Chains A and B, each alone.
Chain A
């Protein structure tokens, strides 16, 4: 069996409000903290959905679209940069598991 890329894995996830172009992010990240004082920038590798990425200059960026609401970043970030919540059923993204 071929080992899958993360993007292929995420392609299997069903998201709510997937068709909506405007969604309200349920997690807010103060990337100024990530990019100034954080010694590890760990969200860029511990997030199972790769919502946190690092660019060529080493700067952390966050996108909520692929979030599967696992909660990992809320615990992993010990710098106070992650303000975590669940998505709003109407205007948020979030997951609907087919198997769970």
Chain B
């Protein structure tokens, strides 16, 4: 292939496919390169795709009989956990039944493949139907740089040239490091290992157990015993006829505490409440994937340079301020904004950082960087030992006291709370956490 592309996208995940959709829609000539057998074949997430951007990429996606998504979320649960107990905040509302849904559960092998199909349909209708491609089974070895400007990519002995390169290569961002936007070694401090099992049920059993109706679904996050004293948290999401059950655990913390992620997963799964919840299923897949904590300190130095943009996890875009674990929606928005910048660059004939920096500006103005910036304190708090240990223990201890009826004179709740606090923390610590919490949320 001798001709030059407007853009080469590295990575067929959500960021790369979102970018591709926008490029196709704007009649750009591009090449998307995916190293797996098909888009999604090497991708793993928890995972819920939050927000409405999917409806921008695939209008009316919910009307499809068998779209790429599993279930929409109308039931949220946050669970604090100690060794014996769970104490949950539970919210379910028919408000969330309205389309476009505000969150859909996905399994990436299926979802990304479906989304890639939608991108191909868009390519087929574009001016470059025969000149834009989604190419799979190709690993990009190097971003070609000339005078510190990206001019294409190399795979093996073959080179492909383009005016711009979008790196949407995922969290293990080797090419981002190669072009100098991130250090060669990224320390473990703000990185976590996510591991999960997909567990299959008879669909009726699943729907009855989790009170699902049609394609409604539940998301449940866990704090406390679910990670066995290690920084992180657990999750359970309902798919069509499976659940995704897993956790994320801080890599540095595991290193220091000498813990294995698969042992922690067994601890979580062995919890009596989880045992009741997942009874009878059959594990059909075990997977793992690194994520960043959402701490800004692990983000690349910059998200662009001459001829190149970073989207999605390549830029370590992740957000968890206690409400939801957001990663795929940030990937999608950053892919959209990245591609819009490439379209502008093509119009101007200027792919230098002069234009590329507008991507950074657009991202800064969007909810992506606004939220990441505004909720850094919450991120730090959630990853503090008090939050994954003391607070869940205290809450569960209080719950046990509060719900115990033992035909003895009952203490007032305030007294029970006071006892639980003394046992698991101190008023002073709680005031500090409360103050931090009030400030950060």
Per the 8 Å Cβ criterion, residues 174-213 of B in contact with A are 174, 185-188, 191, 193-195, 197-198
Given contacts A1-B275, A48-B195, A72-B290, contact A98 B284 (CB under 8 A): yes
A2: shortest Cβ distance to chain B, in Å?
A: 10
Query: How many of chain B's residues touch chain A, expressed as a range?
Result: 35 or more
Given contacts A3-B266, A42-B254, contact A12 B285 (CB under 8 A): yes
Q: Is the CB of A86 within 8 A of B139?
A: yes
Residues of chain B with a CB closer than 8 A to A49's CB: 288
Q: Interface size of A by Cβ–Cβ distance < 8 Å?
A: 40
Q: Is the CB of A85 within 8 A of B174?
A: yes
Q: Is the CB of B195 within 8 A of A100?
A: no
Given contacts A86-B174, A100-B109, contact A68 B287 (CB under 8 A): yes
> A4 interface residue, CB < 8 Å from B?
yes
Q: Is the CB of B109 within 8 A of A97?
A: yes
Q: Is the CB of B41 within 8 A of A76?
A: no
Interface string of A1-33 (1 = CB under 8 A from B): 101101001101100100000000000000000
Main secondary structure of the interface of A (DSSP, over half): loop
Docked CA distance A6–B258 (Å): 17
> B138 interface residue, CB < 8 Å from A?
yes
Docked CA distance A10–B285 (Å): 8
Docked CA distance A90–B36 (Å): 11
The stretch from B42-50, B82-90, B159-167 touching chain A is B42-50
Q: Which of B43, B188, B242, B275 contacts A97 (CB 8 A)?
A: B43
> B262 interface residue, CB < 8 Å from A?
yes
Residues of chain A with a CB closer than 8 A to B252's CB: 76
Residues of chain A with a CB closer than 8 A to B195's CB: 48, 70
B297: shortest Cβ distance to chain A, in Å?
A: 14
Q: Is the CB of B255 within 8 A of A1?
A: no
Residues of chain B with a CB closer than 8 A to A86's CB: 35, 139, 172, 174
> B108 interface residue, CB < 8 Å from A?
yes
Per the 8 Å Cβ criterion, residues 195-239 of B in contact with A are 195, 197-198
Q: Is the CB of A68 within 8 A of B255?
A: no
Residues of chain A with a CB closer than 8 A to B4's CB: none
Docked CA distance A96–B289 (Å): 13
Instruction: Give B253's nearest chain A residue, CB to CB.
Output: A46
Residues of chain B with a CB closer than 8 A to A45's CB: 254, 258-260
Docked CA distance A3–B289 (Å): 21
> B272 interface residue, CB < 8 Å from A?
no
> B400 interface residue, CB < 8 Å from A?
no
> A59 interface residue, CB < 8 Å from B?
no
Q: Is the CB of A4 within 8 A of B42?
A: no
B331: shortest Cβ distance to chain A, in Å?
A: 14
Q: Sample 14 A-B pairs with CB under 8 A, ordered by A number.
A: A9-B197, A42-B258, A45-B259, A46-B261, A69-B42, A70-B193, A71-B172, A71-B290, A75-B186, A87-B139, A89-B138, A96-B36, A97-B41, A99-B110
Q: A residues touching B (Cβ–Cβ < 8 Å)?
A: 1, 3-4, 6, 9-10, 12-13, 16, 40, 42, 45-46, 48-50, 68-72, 74-76, 78, 80, 84-90, 94-100
Given A69-B172, A70-B193, A78-B187, 16 other A-B residues pairs in contact with their CB atoms under 8 A: A1-B275, A1-B280, A42-B255, A45-B258, A48-B195, A48-B262, A48-B288, A70-B289, A70-B290, A71-B172, A72-B288, A76-B255, A87-B139, A99-B107, A99-B109, A99-B287
